[in-house]
Amino acid sequence: MCLESGEEHRIMKEMSWRDHEFDRFLFFCSVYIYNNDEEIRERRMQTNVQATGEEIYICIH
């Protein structure tokens, strides 16, 4: 979780599975941005990472 100037950024890992063909994990994340209780904007991102077994934390600025 990342807090900056009245904005709260939350990242939830919706689903992850192993892509055996490329030997990597695919993470689909939803980023919900709450800006001072105003309307919520949503951004979706897809991150492809090598299968290292490590957790990944993303902070959007």
Give the pLDDT confidence of 49-61 residue by residue, as tens digits. Answer: 444 444 444 444 4
pLDDT computed for residue 14 by the predictor: 41
Q: Are 30 and 40 in contact (CB under 8 A)?
A: no
pLDDT computed for residue 29 by the predictor: 44
For the purposes of burial, counting CB atoms within 10 Å of the CB of 44, is it exposed (0-12), middle (13-18) or buried (19 or more)? exposed
pLDDT computed for residue 61 by the predictor: 40
- For the chain, the average pLDDT equals 45
pLDDT computed for residue 2 by the predictor: 43
Global pTM? 0.16
Mean predicted confidence (pLDDT) in 34-46: 44
- Domain boundaries along the sequence of the chain: 2-50
Q: d(Cα 22, Cα 2) in Å, to the nearest integer?
A: 31
Q: Indicate the fold that domain 2-50 takes in CATH.
A: N-terminal domain of TfIIb (2.20.25)
